[in-house]
Amino acid sequence: MQLLEQTYNLNDIDAAASRLWSAVKQYRLITLTGDLGAGKTTLVSALGRHLQIDDAVSSPTFALVNEYTMYQEGKKYPLYHIDWYRLRNEKDAFAAGMEEYIEDAMHGRCWCIIEWPDKAHALLQRPWVAVYIGTNEDGTRTMTVNAEV
């Protein structure tokens, strides 16, 4: 089910992140797919600003998981920014404890944003939201957002 499609550049990425959050916040698990350089980390940074995260959002590629504190309707929640780029498969993801983050998300205890979800697709649990970012010829990005329910 398509929730949103929008084209944006760096000048209006904060508005794009705000629209994205409005469309997806009822879901706890969000996947982010796009080529290297598509703008995945940049989008998570913009979401971080929208969610009033204090720490600057960086790429989790070397950490696998970056934990932030976010605020939603006056309450504090962990936001896990997870990058499966360096995992090979579900076995790696399971060994790294990834199913626990997903369980927490399913129980409403946190939000998870996972880059490179296809590395361990079988670990995902419905419902989740899949965000795809593509680069256009003029350098703008188009994101397509689907709910997998």
Q: Give contact residues for ligand ADP (rule: CB under 6 A).
A: 8-10, 13, 34, 36-42, 139-141
Q: Which is nearer to ligand ADP, 42 or 146 (CB)?
A: 42
Q: Residue 128 binds which entry of ligand ADP, Mg ion, none, with Cβ cut-offs from 5 to 8 Å by kind?
A: none
Output the 3-class SS for 22-56: HHHCCCCEEEEECCCCCCHHHHHHHHHHHCCCCCC
Give SS3 for 4: strand
Residues constituting the chain: 149
Residue 106 beta carbon to ligand ADP: minimum distance, rounded to whole angstroms: 25
118 within 8 A of 19, measured Cβ to Cβ: no
Judged by the rule CB under 5 A, the positions of this chain that interact with Mg ion are 40-41, 59
Q: Which is nearer to Mg ion, 10 or 71 (CB)?
A: 10
Q: Which is nearer to ligand ADP, 104 or 131 (CB)?
A: 131
User: What does DSSP assign to residue 69?
Assistant: E
Q: Residue 37 binds which entry of ligand ADP, Mg ion, none, with Cβ cut-offs from 5 to 8 Å by kind?
A: ligand ADP
Q: Which is nearer to Mg ion, 28 or 40 (CB)?
A: 40
Residue 14 beta carbon to ligand ADP: minimum distance, rounded to whole angstroms: 11
Q: Residue 39 binds which entry of ligand ADP, Mg ion, none, with Cβ cut-offs from 5 to 8 Å by kind?
A: ligand ADP
CA distance 47 to 125: 22
Who contacts 43 (Cβ-Cβ below 8 Å, separation ≥6)?
13, 16, 17, 20, 32, 131, 133, 143
